[in-house]
Structure 1
Amino acid sequence: MPLALLALAIGAFGIGTTEFVIMGLLPEVSDSFGVSIPTAGFAVTGYALGVVVGAPFMTAIGTRLTRKQMLLMLMGLFIAGNLLTALAPAFGVLLLGRVLASFTHGAFFGVGSVVAADLVAPNKRAGAIASMFMGLTLANVIGAPPGTLIGQHAGWRVTFFIVAALGVLGLLGIAKLVPARPEPATPELRKEFGAFRNPQVWLAMTMTVLGFGGVFAAITYVTPMMTETAGFAESSVMWLLALFGVGMVAGNVIGGRYADRHAMPLLYASLVGLATVLGLFTLTAHHKVLAAITLVLIGLFGFATVPPLQKRVMDHAAEAPTVASAANIAAFNLGNALAAWLGGLVISAGFGYTAPNVVGVGLALSALGVAVFAAWLERRQDGEHRAPRSRVVRTGGPAAPGAEAETAGASGPAVRTSASDAAPHSAADLTT
C-alpha cells in the first residue's frame, strides 16, 4: 500500500471520529445545554447538511490549488471547527462549530478518492478508495467508542479537544506522505460540473442518499434505543458503537474487494441485506445480544455499498471526477441528514425509539429500486449504442464509407457486415 494512502486514512480517521462520536454523546449534549434529545440530534443533522453544502463549494474554491494543498487546507478547517465545538458556550455555537468542521468532510473524501485512485493501477481503484475509507470505518472501532467513554466521564468538550488533536496528526501525515503534484484539484470548473449532465451520476448519488440514509435512520438514535429499549447501561454504548464499527470495517473490505468486478450485484445484495436487518432491528432492539449482532450487520451491509457507489460516480464522471466525487460524499451526508430528521419526527410523534428502523427499511428499499432502474437504463443505452446500423447498398458501384457490404458464401446466405460494426463506437468500447 502506498504510504500516501496511509496519510489519507489518518485524515479520514479524524473526520470519521468527529462525525460518529456525537451520536454516543447526545444525552450529555442535551443535558449540557438543556435541550431535548431530538433537538440535540441537530448536531448530527447540521453536520450532515454542512457536508452537503460544503462538498461542492469547498472543492470549487480549491480549483487553483494542488490536491495536496487542498487537503492541507481542509484539515486546517477541520481543526478550527472542532475547537469551536469544544469551546461552544451555547448550543447554537456548537452547531456552528459542527457545520464548520463538516465543510471539510465531503471535499476531503472527494479529493482524497481521486488521489487514492491515481496512486494505483486502474483495476485496483476501488481497493485504493476502500483503503482511504478504512480510516473512516476504523473511527467507529477505535475512535468514536473511546471518545464516547471519555465524553461520558470527563465531559463531551474533552472529546472534541482530542478530535482536534487528531486533526493535527492528519495534517502532519498529509504534509509528510502525500506526494506534491502540479496539477490543480479541478482541471476546469465548467468541465467538472459538466459531469452532472450524465443521468447515471445523479442515479448513483440518489442510491447513496437513500441507501446510506437507511443506515443512519437507525444509528443516529442508537444511544437512546439501546439504553431505553434494549436496557443497556450508558457505559455499554462505547462497545456497541465499536461493534457497529467492526461491521463497517468488514463491509468496507468486502466492497473494496468486489466493487471493481461485481459492482451492481454487490449493491443489490447489500441493499437487500440492509433492508432486512433494519426491519429485524425493530424486534431485536428489545434483546441485548440480538441487538448487538444486528448493529454489526447494519454496519456491514451499509458500508459494503460505499466503494462501489463512489467508484460508480467516478467512472461515469471519468473526464472530470473531482467535484462529482465530492458531491457523492455530500450525498452520503444528505442521506444522514434526511434519516436523522425523519427519525426525529417519528420519535417525536410517539412511535418509540425503534420507529426510525422502519424509516430505514423504506429508504434502503427505495435505493434498491433506483439501483435496478440505473442498471436497466445502462443496459438499454449500451444496447442502443452498440446496435448495428442498416443501410441500403446499391449494386454496381462502390459502397460509401461505413456502408454495409454483402458477401455470399459458397453455399450459404449473404453475410452482412459494416464498418460501424467492425470498429468500436467510442473510447469506452475499447475497454469493454
Structure 2
Amino acid sequence: MTFAPDVTTDKYRTKFIAWVFSGFSIASVVGAPAGTWVADTFGWRVTFALVSVLTAVLMASMAVSLPRNSHPAKIGFLRQFRLFLDRRIQLGVADVVFGAAASYVFYTYLSPIMRDEIGVPERYISIGLVIYSCACLWSNLYGGKLADKGHGVEPLTHIRPIYCVQAVCLCLLAFASLVPVGGALLLVVLGMLMYLQNSASQVLYMDVAYQSHPGSVNLAASLNSMSFNIGIAIGSAVGGVVNDLLGLTWLGPTGAICALLAVGTTTLLRPYVER
C-alpha cells in the first residue's frame, strides 16, 4: 500500500488498492483448496515448504521491482505516531474496527451457521465456503469502485448506507432457520458487503497522511490491516460470548449493533469532507 503512488497513477490507485485487498479472498478461493490437495497428495510438510518457497520468490520479486526512493520525508520514530492525534484518523480506525467486528461476529461461526441454522449438509459446507469467498472477492473489487468517489474522508462517508443495509441483513440472519434458502442467500449478500469499506478506508488513511502528516505515510499504510485485525479480534471474542450464552441465532443481531456503531463513526466523519 505504501508504494501505491509509485507503481500506479492516481486514476488507477483505488483499483490497485482493491486488488491488493482481494489477495485474501483469492487465497481463500484458490489457496485453501490447493493447499489441501498438496497436503493430501504429498504430505503436510510439503505444503509448508511450498509456502516458504513462494514467500521467498515474492520477497525477491518485491526487492527487484519496487522503487527504493519512495517517500523521502522522514521523521523520528515516535513523532510519526502524532498521526493518531488526527481526528479523521481516529474515526477512520474506529469505523474499520466496528465494520470488521460486525462481520466477524458471525463469520467466526460461518460453518456452524450453515450446518445448524440453514441446514446445509456437511459434505456441501466446503462448497458453501467457496461461494462465500467468491462473494468476498466481489466485495473487495467493488469496494475499489466505491473508493473512486472522492478523496480523503469522502469515500468512507459513502459507506454509511452500506453499513445500514448490513445491519438489517444481520438482524434478518436470526430468522435463517425459518427460511433456509433465504438464509443461504442472505449469507451471500453479507459476503458481498463484508469488505466494501477496505479501499475507502485506505484512501482516507493515505490521503490524510500525505496532506497533514507526510512523515507518517508508512504508518498510515499499515492502519487498515491493524484496524481490521483489531475488529476481527473483537468480533470473534464477542461472537464467542454470545454463542456460549445465547446461541448461534443471536450472532447476527449482535453484529448489527457493531454495524450501527460503524454508521455512527461515518456520520461523525461527514463534517471533515472537503467542500
Displacement after TM superposition at 1:145 (Å): 5.3
Matched, 1:368 2:263: yes
Summarize the alignment of residues 203-218 of structure 1 with structure 2, pairs less than 5 Å apart: 203-218=91-106
Q: What is the 5 A alignment of 1:166-205?
A: 166-176=51-61, 179-183=65-69, 187-188=74-75, 189-205=77-93
Counterpart of 2:53, as a letter, is V
Secondary structure, aligned partner of 1:336? helix
Determine the C-alpha separation between the residues in 2 that align with 1:272 and 1:348: 27
Deviation at 1:139, TM superposition (A): 2.1
Query: Cα–Cα, structure 1 residues 140 and 294, in superposed 2: closer, same or farther, change >3 Å?
Result: farther
8 Å Cα contact 2:4-2:13 kept in structure 1: yes
Higher relative contact order (CA 8 A, sep 6+): 2
**Aligned residues of 2:205 and 2:223 also touching (Cα < 8 A):** no
Match in the other structure for 1:321: 217
- In the alignment, the residues of structure 2 paired with residue 176 and residue 326 of structure 1 have an alpha-carbon distance, to the nearest angstrom, of 21
Q: Are 2:154 and 1:259 aligned?
A: no
Query: Can you list the C-alpha shifts for 1:220-265, whole angstroms capped at 9, x where unaligned?
Result: 0111122222222233221111121111111112111231225145
Shift of residue 214, structure 1, vs aligned partner: 0.7
1:309 corresponds in structure 2 to: 201
CA contact (8 A) 1:226 1:285 kept: no
Partner residue of 1:339 out of 232, 235, 257:
235
Aligned counterparts of 1:123 and 1:176: Cα–Cα separation in 2: 25
Number of the residue aligned with 2:129: 241
2-side partners of 1:181 and 1:250: how far apart?
30
Q: Is the 8 A contact 1:201 1:316 kept in 2?
A: yes
Deviation at 1:164, TM superposition (A): 5.9
Name the CA distance, whole Å, in 1 between partners of 2:34 and 2:239: 26
Is the CA contact (8 Å cut-off) linking 1:212 and 1:336 kept in structure 2?
Answer: yes
Q: Which moved more, 1:164-173 or 1:353-362?
A: 164-173
Task: Return the alpha-carbon distance in structure 2 between the equivalents of residues 191 and 162 of structure 1.
Answer: 42
168-177 or 319-328: which moved more?
168-177
Change (3 A) 1:216 1:161: farther
Q: Determine the C-alpha separation between the residues in 2 that align with 1:123 and 1:328.
A: 21
| Residues 121-142 of structure 1, C-alpha deviations (whole Å, 9 max, x = no match) | 1232221111111211212322
Letter in 1 for 2:12: K
Instruction: Write the letter of the residue equivalent to 1:326.
Output: S
Q: Distance in 2 between matches of 1:285 and 1:260?
A: 38
CA separation of 1:314 and 1:139: change in aligned 2, threshold 3 A: same
Q: 1:327 to 1:181 in 2, by over 3 A?
A: same
Q: Read off the aligned partner of 2:161 and give its amino acid letter.
A: A
1:274 corresponds to 2:274: no
CA contact (8 A) 1:145 1:241 kept: no
Give runs of aligned pairs for residues 49-88 of structure 1, distance below 5 A. Answer: none
- Give distance in 1, aligned partners of 2:126 and 2:179: 18
* Residue type of the alignment partner of 1:275: A
1:118, CA displacement in angstroms?
Answer: 2.5
The 5 A counterparts of 1:131-150 are 131-144=19-32
Number of matched residues? 263
> 1:164, 1:273 → 2: CA distance?
43
- Provide the rounded CA distance (Å) in 2 between the counterparts of 1:312 and 1:296: 28
Runs (5+) with no aligned partner, structure 2: none
- The whole-number CA distance in structure 1 between the counterparts of 2:252 and 2:49 is 32
Distance (Å, rounded) in 1 between the aligned partners of 2:177 and 2:197: 24
1:298 pairs with one of 190, 194, 208: 190
Secondary structure at the counterpart of residue 20 of structure 2: helix
Cα distance in 2, alignment partners of residues 165 and 340 from structure 1: 30
Normalising by structure 1, we get a TM-score of 0.55
The farther-off stretch of 278-287 and 123-132 is 278-287
1:66-116: CA deviations, max 9, x gaps?
xxxxxxxxxxxxxxxxxxxxxxxxxxxxxxxxxxxxxxxxxxxxxxx1123
Cα 1:362/1:316, change in 2 over 3 Å: same
Query: Could you tell me which amino acid in structure 1 is paired with residue 255 of structure 2?
Result: G
* Alignment partner of 1:358 is 2:253: yes
Aligned mates of 2:209, 2:233 — CA distance in 1: 25
Offset at residue 327 of structure 1 (A): 2.7
| Offset at residue 285 of structure 1 (A) | 4.7
Q: Which moved more, 1:249-258 or 1:210-219?
A: 249-258
Structure 1: give runs of 5+ residues left out of the alignment.
1-112, 383-431
TM-fit CA distance, 1:167? 4.8
